[in-house]
Amino acid sequence: MFNIGTRLFSLKPIGIGTGIIESQTSYISRLSEIHSVTVGSLIGKELASVLAKKYILKSSMEGGSRFFDTASELNGFGKVAEDCAKGLEILTGGTDLKGLTLVSWNHMIPPRGVLREKKAWCPECLENWKENNQDIYEPLLWSFKAVTFCLEHGTSLQNRCPNCFKEIPILTRKTRNGFCSYCGCWLGHSKISIDGVANTQPTSWEYFVVTNVMELLVIGQVSLLHCEEIHAFIKSLVDSNGGKGAFSRAVGIPKTTVRAWYDGNNKPRFDTLLIICFGVKQQLKDIVTGFRGTGNCLAVGSELMFTPKPVKRRRPFDQDRTESVLKEIIDGKVNPPPSVREVAKSLQCDKRLLYKHCSKLCKAVSEKHISYVQECRSKRINEACLKVKDVTEDLLNQGVYPSRRRVEKILGSKLIMREKPVQTTWHDSLQQ
Ligand SMILES: [Zn+2]
Ligand SMILES: [Zn+2]
Protein backbone atom coordinates (compact mmCIF):
# COMPACT_ATOMS: atom_id res chain seq x y z
CA MET A 1 0.00 0.00 0.00
CA PHE A 2 2.93 2.28 0.68
CA ASN A 3 4.40 3.62 -2.51
CA ILE A 4 8.13 4.06 -2.65
CA GLY A 5 8.88 7.73 -2.90
CA THR A 6 5.56 9.05 -1.67
CA ARG A 7 4.86 10.58 1.71
CA LEU A 8 1.50 8.90 2.23
CA PHE A 9 -0.18 5.56 1.56
CA SER A 10 -1.53 5.33 -1.94
CA LEU A 11 -5.10 5.07 -0.80
CA LYS A 12 -7.46 4.12 -3.61
CA PRO A 13 -10.59 6.27 -3.95
CA ILE A 14 -13.87 4.39 -3.58
CA GLY A 15 -16.38 3.99 -6.38
CA ILE A 16 -14.14 4.89 -9.32
CA GLY A 17 -16.04 4.61 -12.60
CA THR A 18 -19.45 4.67 -10.91
CA GLY A 19 -22.04 7.28 -10.04
CA ILE A 20 -21.17 6.91 -6.38
CA ILE A 21 -17.55 7.96 -6.73
CA GLU A 22 -16.04 9.30 -3.53
CA SER A 23 -15.77 13.05 -2.97
CA GLN A 24 -12.37 14.66 -2.52
CA THR A 25 -13.25 15.79 1.02
CA SER A 26 -14.25 12.23 1.91
CA TYR A 27 -10.93 11.03 0.49
CA ILE A 28 -9.03 13.57 2.60
CA SER A 29 -10.89 12.39 5.66
CA ARG A 30 -10.08 8.72 5.01
CA LEU A 31 -6.49 9.53 4.20
CA SER A 32 -6.15 11.26 7.58
CA GLU A 33 -7.78 8.38 9.36
CA ILE A 34 -5.46 5.69 7.99
CA HIS A 35 -2.47 7.82 8.99
CA SER A 36 -3.97 8.41 12.44
CA VAL A 37 -3.78 12.16 12.09
CA THR A 38 -6.52 14.76 12.07
CA VAL A 39 -7.72 16.33 8.84
CA GLY A 40 -6.32 19.58 10.23
CA SER A 41 -2.77 18.32 10.43
CA LEU A 42 -2.96 16.38 7.15
CA ILE A 43 -3.88 19.59 5.38
CA GLY A 44 -1.72 21.96 7.40
CA LYS A 45 1.43 19.84 7.41
CA GLU A 46 1.36 17.45 4.46
CA LEU A 47 -0.78 19.07 1.79
CA ALA A 48 0.55 22.55 2.47
CA SER A 49 4.10 21.37 1.96
CA VAL A 50 3.52 20.07 -1.56
CA LEU A 51 1.17 22.73 -2.81
CA ALA A 52 2.79 25.55 -4.67
CA LYS A 53 -0.38 27.51 -4.21
CA LYS A 54 0.31 28.27 -0.61
CA TYR A 55 -2.36 30.95 -0.47
CA ILE A 56 -5.04 28.31 -0.42
CA LEU A 57 -3.65 26.82 2.72
CA LYS A 58 -2.47 29.98 4.40
CA SER A 59 -5.57 30.21 6.49
CA SER A 60 -5.42 26.54 7.36
CA MET A 61 -1.86 26.83 8.64
CA GLU A 62 -2.49 30.02 10.55
CA GLY A 63 -5.44 28.52 12.31
CA GLY A 64 -8.02 30.51 10.39
CA SER A 65 -11.18 28.84 9.28
CA ARG A 66 -11.62 30.29 5.79
CA PHE A 67 -10.18 27.19 4.15
CA PHE A 68 -12.66 24.98 5.98
CA ASP A 69 -15.56 27.41 5.57
CA THR A 70 -15.25 27.09 1.82
CA ALA A 71 -14.43 23.39 1.84
CA SER A 72 -17.22 22.53 -0.59
CA GLU A 73 -14.96 24.10 -3.24
CA LEU A 74 -12.62 21.14 -2.75
CA ASN A 75 -15.26 18.99 -4.42
CA GLY A 76 -16.15 21.65 -6.94
CA PHE A 77 -15.36 23.01 -10.36
CA GLY A 78 -12.43 25.33 -9.90
CA LYS A 79 -8.77 25.84 -9.23
CA VAL A 80 -8.98 25.02 -5.52
CA ALA A 81 -10.34 21.53 -6.26
CA GLU A 82 -7.80 20.96 -9.03
CA ASP A 83 -4.82 22.14 -7.00
CA CYS A 84 -5.82 20.06 -4.05
CA ALA A 85 -6.19 16.95 -6.25
CA LYS A 86 -2.72 17.56 -7.68
CA GLY A 87 -1.28 17.92 -4.20
CA LEU A 88 -2.88 14.68 -3.08
CA GLU A 89 -1.58 12.91 -6.17
CA ILE A 90 1.96 13.95 -5.29
CA LEU A 91 1.51 12.79 -1.70
CA THR A 92 -0.11 9.45 -2.45
CA GLY A 93 1.27 8.62 -5.88
CA GLY A 94 -2.35 8.28 -7.02
CA THR A 95 -3.49 9.36 -10.43
CA ASP A 96 -6.37 11.45 -11.58
CA LEU A 97 -7.87 12.38 -8.26
CA LYS A 98 -9.63 15.13 -10.21
CA GLY A 99 -12.34 12.52 -10.70
CA LEU A 100 -13.31 13.12 -7.06
CA THR A 101 -14.28 16.68 -7.97
CA LEU A 102 -16.38 18.44 -10.60
CA VAL A 103 -13.41 19.99 -12.37
CA SER A 104 -14.43 18.29 -15.63
CA TRP A 105 -17.87 19.95 -15.38
CA ASN A 106 -16.40 23.42 -15.30
CA HIS A 107 -17.27 24.35 -18.88
CA MET A 108 -20.65 22.67 -18.92
CA ILE A 109 -22.70 24.61 -16.38
CA PRO A 110 -22.32 27.62 -14.09
CA PRO A 111 -20.89 26.29 -10.80
CA ARG A 112 -22.92 28.50 -8.50
CA GLY A 113 -25.47 26.76 -6.34
CA VAL A 114 -24.70 23.23 -7.54
CA LEU A 115 -23.05 21.88 -4.40
CA ARG A 116 -24.26 21.95 -0.82
CA GLU A 117 -22.46 24.04 1.78
CA LYS A 118 -23.14 21.42 4.48
CA LYS A 119 -23.15 17.64 4.55
CA ALA A 120 -26.00 15.38 3.50
CA TRP A 121 -25.96 11.61 3.87
CA CYS A 122 -27.93 8.39 3.55
CA PRO A 123 -28.00 6.87 7.06
CA GLU A 124 -28.67 3.41 5.64
CA CYS A 125 -25.67 3.46 3.32
CA LEU A 126 -23.47 4.42 6.28
CA GLU A 127 -24.97 1.74 8.51
CA ASN A 128 -24.60 -0.93 5.82
CA TRP A 129 -20.96 -0.17 5.22
CA LYS A 130 -20.28 -0.28 8.92
CA GLU A 131 -22.08 -3.61 9.36
CA ASN A 132 -20.15 -5.11 6.46
CA ASN A 133 -16.82 -3.73 7.65
CA GLN A 134 -16.48 -1.64 4.53
CA ASP A 135 -14.75 1.72 4.39
CA ILE A 136 -17.03 4.56 5.42
CA TYR A 137 -17.03 7.23 2.76
CA GLU A 138 -19.14 10.03 1.36
CA PRO A 139 -20.04 9.91 -2.34
CA LEU A 140 -19.71 13.10 -4.35
CA LEU A 141 -23.35 12.50 -5.29
CA TRP A 142 -24.50 13.44 -1.78
CA SER A 143 -23.03 16.90 -2.06
CA PHE A 144 -25.36 17.94 -4.89
CA LYS A 145 -28.09 20.28 -3.69
CA ALA A 146 -30.50 18.78 -6.20
CA VAL A 147 -30.00 15.22 -4.94
CA THR A 148 -32.39 14.47 -2.09
CA PHE A 149 -32.61 10.72 -1.78
CA CYS A 150 -30.59 7.52 -1.99
CA LEU A 151 -31.32 5.39 -5.03
CA GLU A 152 -30.09 2.26 -3.29
CA HIS A 153 -32.33 2.52 -0.24
CA GLY A 154 -35.12 4.85 -1.25
CA THR A 155 -34.13 6.87 1.81
CA SER A 156 -34.23 10.65 2.05
CA LEU A 157 -30.79 12.13 2.54
CA GLN A 158 -30.40 13.60 6.02
CA ASN A 159 -28.78 16.94 6.71
CA ARG A 160 -28.97 17.42 10.46
CA CYS A 161 -27.25 15.44 13.18
CA PRO A 162 -29.85 13.22 14.89
CA ASN A 163 -28.26 14.01 18.25
CA CYS A 164 -27.36 17.70 18.32
CA PHE A 165 -29.61 18.74 15.39
CA LYS A 166 -26.85 20.79 13.85
CA GLU A 167 -25.99 20.99 10.18
CA ILE A 168 -22.53 19.53 9.68
CA PRO A 169 -19.75 21.30 7.74
CA ILE A 170 -18.28 19.55 4.69
CA LEU A 171 -14.83 19.49 6.26
CA THR A 172 -13.41 20.53 9.61
CA ARG A 173 -10.06 19.93 11.27
CA LYS A 174 -11.56 16.89 12.98
CA THR A 175 -13.94 15.57 10.34
CA ARG A 176 -14.54 11.83 10.25
CA ASN A 177 -16.69 10.33 7.54
CA GLY A 178 -20.05 9.27 8.91
CA PHE A 179 -19.76 11.19 12.18
CA CYS A 180 -21.05 14.55 13.37
CA SER A 181 -18.11 16.89 13.75
CA TYR A 182 -19.83 18.73 16.61
CA CYS A 183 -20.97 16.00 18.98
CA GLY A 184 -19.27 12.93 17.49
CA CYS A 185 -22.55 11.10 16.97
CA TRP A 186 -22.62 8.26 14.42
CA LEU A 187 -24.83 9.34 11.54
CA GLY A 188 -25.89 5.96 10.25
CA HIS A 189 -28.92 4.00 11.26
CA SER A 190 -30.87 1.09 9.95
CA LYS A 191 -34.29 0.95 8.38
CA ILE A 192 -36.08 -0.07 11.56
CA SER A 193 -35.44 3.11 13.45
CA ILE A 194 -36.52 5.38 10.65
CA ASP A 195 -39.34 3.24 9.39
CA GLY A 196 -42.11 5.23 7.79
CA VAL A 197 -40.27 8.51 7.79
CA ALA A 198 -37.66 8.04 5.19
CA ASN A 199 -38.57 4.95 3.25
CA THR A 200 -41.09 6.39 0.87
CA GLN A 201 -41.13 6.02 -2.86
CA PRO A 202 -39.23 8.82 -4.59
CA THR A 203 -41.24 10.99 -6.91
CA SER A 204 -40.45 10.67 -10.60
CA TRP A 205 -38.66 14.03 -10.35
CA GLU A 206 -36.40 12.92 -7.49
CA TYR A 207 -35.63 9.72 -9.35
CA PHE A 208 -34.86 11.69 -12.50
CA VAL A 209 -32.44 13.99 -10.70
CA VAL A 210 -30.46 11.24 -8.97
CA THR A 211 -30.10 9.09 -12.07
CA ASN A 212 -29.07 12.08 -14.18
CA VAL A 213 -26.44 13.27 -11.74
CA MET A 214 -25.06 9.74 -11.39
CA GLU A 215 -24.80 9.30 -15.14
CA LEU A 216 -22.98 12.60 -15.50
CA LEU A 217 -20.61 11.68 -12.66
CA VAL A 218 -19.64 8.55 -14.58
CA ILE A 219 -18.95 10.43 -17.81
CA GLY A 220 -17.20 13.29 -16.01
CA GLN A 221 -14.55 10.92 -14.68
CA VAL A 222 -13.33 10.03 -18.15
CA SER A 223 -14.00 13.09 -20.25
CA LEU A 224 -14.45 16.82 -20.09
CA LEU A 225 -18.06 17.90 -20.27
CA HIS A 226 -18.85 20.75 -22.62
CA CYS A 227 -21.60 23.30 -23.00
CA GLU A 228 -21.83 23.26 -26.80
CA GLU A 229 -24.24 20.36 -26.93
CA ILE A 230 -26.41 21.93 -24.25
CA HIS A 231 -26.46 25.15 -26.23
CA ALA A 232 -27.52 23.28 -29.37
CA PHE A 233 -30.19 21.45 -27.38
CA ILE A 234 -31.68 24.66 -25.98
CA LYS A 235 -31.61 26.24 -29.43
CA SER A 236 -33.46 23.43 -31.10
CA LEU A 237 -35.89 23.26 -28.21
CA VAL A 238 -36.71 26.95 -28.55
CA ASP A 239 -36.99 26.73 -32.34
CA SER A 240 -39.26 23.73 -32.28
CA ASN A 241 -41.52 25.24 -29.65
CA GLY A 242 -42.57 28.47 -31.28
CA GLY A 243 -39.51 30.64 -30.69
CA LYS A 244 -38.16 32.49 -27.68
CA GLY A 245 -41.40 34.14 -26.60
CA ALA A 246 -43.51 31.00 -26.71
CA PHE A 247 -40.79 28.95 -25.09
CA SER A 248 -40.32 31.54 -22.36
CA ARG A 249 -44.04 31.45 -21.57
CA ALA A 250 -44.21 27.66 -21.67
CA VAL A 251 -41.40 27.17 -19.18
CA GLY A 252 -42.04 30.27 -17.07
CA ILE A 253 -38.55 31.68 -17.55
CA PRO A 254 -37.98 35.37 -18.52
CA LYS A 255 -37.51 35.95 -22.21
CA THR A 256 -34.22 37.81 -21.65
CA THR A 257 -32.82 34.71 -19.94
CA VAL A 258 -34.01 32.47 -22.76
CA ARG A 259 -32.45 34.85 -25.29
CA ALA A 260 -29.11 34.79 -23.46
CA TRP A 261 -29.12 30.99 -23.55
CA TYR A 262 -30.16 30.97 -27.19
CA ASP A 263 -27.39 33.36 -28.20
CA GLY A 264 -24.87 31.45 -26.15
CA ASN A 265 -24.19 34.44 -23.89
CA ASN A 266 -25.25 32.57 -20.80
CA LYS A 267 -25.58 28.99 -19.66
CA PRO A 268 -28.65 27.62 -17.88
CA ARG A 269 -28.15 26.81 -14.22
CA PHE A 270 -27.92 23.14 -13.35
CA ASP A 271 -31.30 22.96 -11.60
CA THR A 272 -33.03 24.76 -14.47
CA LEU A 273 -31.38 22.45 -16.97
CA LEU A 274 -32.62 19.44 -15.03
CA ILE A 275 -36.15 20.84 -14.96
CA ILE A 276 -36.09 21.41 -18.71
CA CYS A 277 -34.73 17.93 -19.39
CA PHE A 278 -37.35 16.47 -17.06
CA GLY A 279 -40.02 18.34 -18.96
CA VAL A 280 -38.96 16.97 -22.32
CA LYS A 281 -38.04 13.52 -20.98
CA GLN A 282 -34.41 13.65 -21.99
CA GLN A 283 -31.47 12.34 -20.01
CA LEU A 284 -28.88 15.05 -19.57
CA LYS A 285 -26.06 12.65 -20.40
CA ASP A 286 -27.59 12.06 -23.84
CA ILE A 287 -27.64 15.77 -24.47
CA VAL A 288 -24.12 16.39 -23.21
CA THR A 289 -22.69 13.56 -25.27
CA GLY A 290 -24.70 14.53 -28.32
CA PHE A 291 -26.94 11.48 -28.46
CA ARG A 292 -30.29 13.17 -28.46
CA GLY A 293 -32.83 10.54 -29.38
CA THR A 294 -35.25 10.81 -32.24
CA GLY A 295 -38.97 10.63 -31.76
CA ASN A 296 -38.87 13.06 -28.85
CA CYS A 297 -40.75 16.30 -28.86
CA LEU A 298 -37.74 18.19 -30.12
CA ALA A 299 -37.35 16.19 -33.25
CA VAL A 300 -41.00 16.28 -34.18
CA GLY A 301 -41.44 19.86 -33.00
CA SER A 302 -44.46 19.03 -30.91
CA GLU A 303 -45.52 20.96 -27.82
CA LEU A 304 -43.45 20.85 -24.67
CA MET A 305 -44.74 18.22 -22.32
CA PHE A 306 -43.88 20.33 -19.37
CA THR A 307 -44.06 20.42 -15.62
CA PRO A 308 -41.97 23.52 -14.99
CA LYS A 309 -42.12 23.10 -11.20
CA PRO A 310 -41.42 19.50 -10.20
CA VAL A 311 -43.86 18.24 -7.59
CA LYS A 312 -42.49 17.98 -4.09
CA ARG A 313 -43.05 14.82 -2.17
CA ARG A 314 -45.23 14.83 0.93
CA ARG A 315 -43.73 12.82 3.70
CA PRO A 316 -46.06 10.67 5.81
CA PHE A 317 -46.00 11.78 9.44
CA ASP A 318 -44.29 9.29 11.72
CA GLN A 319 -45.97 9.63 15.09
CA ASP A 320 -43.79 7.11 16.95
CA ARG A 321 -40.46 8.41 15.80
CA THR A 322 -41.46 12.02 16.35
CA GLU A 323 -42.68 11.29 19.87
CA SER A 324 -39.50 9.44 20.77
CA VAL A 325 -37.35 12.31 19.47
CA LEU A 326 -39.37 14.84 21.49
CA LYS A 327 -39.27 12.68 24.63
CA GLU A 328 -35.50 12.37 24.43
CA ILE A 329 -35.24 16.13 24.43
CA ILE A 330 -37.64 16.44 27.36
CA ASP A 331 -35.62 13.81 29.25
CA GLY A 332 -32.55 15.99 28.86
CA LYS A 333 -30.72 13.65 26.48
CA VAL A 334 -30.08 16.39 23.93
CA ASN A 335 -27.76 19.18 24.88
CA PRO A 336 -28.43 22.04 24.46
CA PRO A 337 -32.20 21.47 24.17
CA PRO A 338 -33.27 22.59 20.68
CA SER A 339 -36.31 24.68 19.83
CA VAL A 340 -39.38 23.08 18.25
CA ARG A 341 -38.49 24.86 15.03
CA GLU A 342 -35.06 23.21 14.99
CA VAL A 343 -36.60 19.81 15.71
CA ALA A 344 -39.12 20.27 12.90
CA LYS A 345 -36.30 21.17 10.56
CA SER A 346 -34.29 18.11 11.47
CA LEU A 347 -37.32 15.85 11.03
CA GLN A 348 -37.98 17.62 7.75
CA CYS A 349 -41.54 18.46 8.61
CA ASP A 350 -43.53 21.58 9.25
CA LYS A 351 -43.51 23.09 12.74
CA ARG A 352 -47.31 23.45 12.70
CA LEU A 353 -47.66 19.79 11.79
CA LEU A 354 -45.49 18.89 14.74
CA TYR A 355 -47.67 20.92 17.10
CA LYS A 356 -50.79 19.43 15.59
CA HIS A 357 -49.71 15.83 16.18
CA CYS A 358 -47.76 16.16 19.43
CA SER A 359 -48.94 19.38 21.01
CA LYS A 360 -48.20 18.48 24.66
CA LEU A 361 -44.71 17.19 23.91
CA CYS A 362 -43.98 20.21 21.72
CA LYS A 363 -45.02 22.55 24.51
CA ALA A 364 -42.72 20.76 26.92
CA VAL A 365 -39.84 20.93 24.43
CA SER A 366 -40.51 24.60 23.88
CA GLU A 367 -40.56 25.32 27.63
CA LYS A 368 -37.30 23.44 28.05
CA HIS A 369 -35.70 25.41 25.25
CA ILE A 370 -36.97 28.73 26.58
CA SER A 371 -35.77 28.06 30.09
CA TYR A 372 -32.39 27.05 28.70
CA VAL A 373 -32.18 30.29 26.71
CA GLN A 374 -33.18 32.29 29.79
CA GLU A 375 -30.63 30.46 31.90
CA CYS A 376 -27.91 31.30 29.40
CA ARG A 377 -29.04 34.90 29.36
CA SER A 378 -29.00 35.36 33.11
CA LYS A 379 -25.64 33.61 33.31
CA ARG A 380 -24.30 36.01 30.70
CA ILE A 381 -25.71 39.01 32.55
CA ASN A 382 -24.35 37.88 35.90
CA GLU A 383 -20.91 37.43 34.43
CA ALA A 384 -21.15 40.85 32.77
CA CYS A 385 -22.19 42.46 36.06
CA LEU A 386 -19.16 41.05 37.82
CA LYS A 387 -16.91 42.20 35.02
CA VAL A 388 -18.42 45.69 34.92
CA LYS A 389 -17.93 46.00 38.67
CA ASP A 390 -14.27 44.96 38.32
CA VAL A 391 -13.57 47.21 35.37
CA THR A 392 -15.27 50.24 36.95
CA GLU A 393 -13.46 49.83 40.23
CA ASP A 394 -10.13 49.29 38.45
CA LEU A 395 -10.58 52.51 36.50
CA LEU A 396 -11.55 54.44 39.63
CA ASN A 397 -8.48 53.09 41.42
CA GLN A 398 -6.35 54.31 38.53
CA GLY A 399 -7.99 57.71 38.81
CA VAL A 400 -9.70 57.38 35.43
CA TYR A 401 -13.36 58.24 35.13
CA PRO A 402 -15.20 55.00 34.19
CA SER A 403 -17.46 56.48 31.51
CA ARG A 404 -19.90 54.16 29.82
CA ARG A 405 -17.93 54.30 26.59
CA ARG A 406 -14.67 53.45 28.35
CA VAL A 407 -16.23 50.50 30.14
CA GLU A 408 -17.85 49.27 26.94
CA LYS A 409 -14.51 49.42 25.16
CA ILE A 410 -12.82 47.29 27.80
CA LEU A 411 -15.71 44.83 27.80
CA GLY A 412 -15.49 44.64 24.03
CA SER A 413 -19.24 44.87 23.63
CA LYS A 414 -21.82 47.64 23.53
CA LEU A 415 -24.75 45.29 23.62
CA ILE A 416 -24.23 43.99 27.11
CA MET A 417 -24.31 47.50 28.59
CA ARG A 418 -27.86 47.85 27.32
CA GLU A 419 -29.03 45.30 29.86
CA LYS A 420 -30.66 46.92 32.87
CA PRO A 421 -28.92 44.89 35.61
CA VAL A 422 -25.54 45.61 34.01
CA GLN A 423 -26.28 49.35 33.90
CA THR A 424 -27.38 49.27 37.54
CA THR A 425 -24.14 47.56 38.54
CA TRP A 426 -22.18 50.22 36.70
CA HIS A 427 -24.13 53.04 38.40
CA ASP A 428 -23.76 51.41 41.80
CA SER A 429 -20.03 50.99 41.34
CA LEU A 430 -19.76 54.65 40.35
CA GLN A 431 -21.51 55.74 43.54
CA GLN A 432 -19.02 53.98 45.76
ZN1 LIG B 1 -28.43 4.60 0.94
ZN1 LIG C 1 -24.09 16.21 16.37
> Among 288-297, 347-356, 404-413, which stretch is predicted with the lowest mean pLDDT?
288-297
**CA–CA gap between residue 312 and residue 378 (Å, rounded):** 43
Report whether pLDDT(235) > 60: yes
Q: Give residue limits of the domains in the chain.
A: 1-219, 226-300, 319-431
Ligand approaching nearest to the C-alpha of 158: 1
pLDDT digits (tens, 9 = 90+) for 372-417: 999 998 998 898 899 889 989 888 888 888 888 888 888 877 777 8
Predicted local confidence at residue 282, as pLDDT: 87
- Ion ligand 1: protein residues whose beta carbon lies under 5 Å: 122, 124-125, 150, 152-153
Report whether pLDDT(247) > 90: no
Mean of per-residue pLDDT scores for the chain = 85
- Going from the Cα of 148 to the center of ligand 2, the distance in angstroms, rounded, reads 20
- Going from the Cα of 163 to the center of ligand 2, the distance in angstroms, rounded, reads 5
- Going from the Cα of 158 to the center of ligand 2, the distance in angstroms, rounded, reads 12
Is residue 144 a contact partner of residue 150, using CB atoms and an 8 Å limit? no
Report whether pLDDT(232) > 70: yes
Cα distances (Å, whole numbers) of residue 105 to 20, 25, 259, 335, 367: 16, 18, 23, 41, 49
Report whether pLDDT(1) > 60: no
**CA–CA gap between residue 176 and residue 137 (Å, rounded):** 9
202 — pLDDT class (breaks 50, 70, 90):
confident
Report whether pLDDT(55) > 70: no
Ligand approaching nearest to the C-alpha of 128: 1
> Among 5-19, 32-46, 187-201, 275-289, which stretch is predicted with the lowest mean pLDDT?
187-201
195 — pLDDT class (breaks 50, 70, 90):
very low
> pTM here?
0.73
**CA–CA gap between residue 175 and residue 179 (Å, rounded):** 8
Average pLDDT over residues 142-152: 94
- Ion ligand 2: protein residues whose beta carbon lies under 5 Å: 161, 163-164, 180, 182-183, 185
- Going from the Cα of 286 to the center of ligand 1, the distance in angstroms, rounded, reads 26
Ligand approaching nearest to the C-alpha of 338: 2
**CA–CA gap between residue 278 and residue 310 (Å, rounded):** 9
- Does residue 15 or residue 62 have the better pLDDT? 15
